[in-house]
Amino acid sequence: METTELLKKVRAIELRTRGLSKQIFSGEYHSAFKGRGMAFSENREYQHGDEIRTIDWNVTARMGHPYVKVFEEERELTAMILVDVSSSGNFGTRTQLKKTLITELTAVLAFSAIQNNDKIGVILFSDRIEKFIPPKKGRSHILRIIRELLDFEPEGTKTDIAFALDYMNRVIKKRSICFVLSDFIDDNFEQSLKIASRKHDLVALKIEDPGEEELPKAGWLLFRDSENGEMTWVNSNLKRNRLRLKHAFLERNKRIKEQFTRAGVDNITIRTNRPYVRSLMNLFKQRTR
């Protein structure tokens, strides 16, 4: 993509998503993903009822009477966004491609994070780690992330969610909020979900397109699997073929949902043909209850 065209697209996404983040999500984000750790705040004199384990024995010895450590909840977080850049993101039958929606969602989450004074990092993955952008703060950092997503050409075509989660666990040591943006067209990632959700605050945003569920009556159609390249002819006029597609789609979604539940991972589904604002706000509100 030419530099001028790229900058225009980056600016357009910033204007749209930064406004959304500031007006709608910043307060909800702050409440939904507040720091889970505790940081030392100050020492004060022991008061009746204080937990004995909080006594600071060094200060107590120096002052001659009991002092305790006071802790407060950490407000600053590290937010990681794992972005699926595999070839299935090039699918879209209505208003936009899945990868276009993922780029916009990444920008919204990133701007929400920096408004909460959090660091934001990104891992782009397919069936390998395509790029790791370490967590930082600031608008220029987010604009770099958007540029990368708009202009990035992945080497891999398939999806390996387990590999991406395992990589994140290795490189991000501190407990973080982690968003996984993917269509989850993959298998055998449940164990990695469980491990990552124990170490981090994991949230899955599943991206869908209506064309994955509903086959139009349009005669013989040639389908190409974007991840493995296989070509298949399907007669879309036959009801059994349309029902077969829908059944496979619903079964896969049910299986993925069960994996999220067993792993204790909060999740929402966002479709390319529907506004995502309400879905994100509902997710944030559910987490504050």
DSSP 66-92: -EEEEEEE----EEEEEEE-SGGGG--
Contact 43, 59 (CB under 8 A): yes
Domain closes at, from 73, 100, 123: 73
Same domain assignment for residues 89 and 231? yes
Both 62 and 151 in a single domain? no
50 and 92 belong to one structural domain: no
**pLDDT at residue number 233:** 81
Same domain (yes/no): 84, 45: no
Number of domains in the chain: 2
Q: What is the DSSP code (8-state) at residue 54?
A: G
What pLDDT, on the 0 to 100 scale, is given for residue 26? 67
Residues 178 and 271 in one domain: yes
User: Does the model's pTM come out above 0.75?
Assistant: yes
Residue type at 95?
T
* Full pLDDT tens readout for the chain, 289 residues: 667 787 888 888 888 888 878 766 766 777 777 655 555 567 888 888 887 878 888 888 888 889 888 765 556 789 999 999 999 998 888 789 999 999 999 999 999 888 888 899 999 999 999 999 999 999 999 999 999 999 999 999 999 999 999 999 999 988 899 999 999 999 999 999 999 999 999 999 999 998 888 777 777 776 766 666 677 887 777 788 788 888 888 999 999 999 999 999 999 999 999 999 888 888 887 777 6
Domain match, 130 and 162 both: yes
The amino acid present at 132, given as its one-letter code, is: F
Q: Are residues 65 and 181 located together in one domain of the fold?
A: no
Output the domain CATH number for residue 230. Answer: 3.40.50.410
For residues 63 and 124, membership in a common domain is answered with: no
Domain that holds residue 67: 38-73
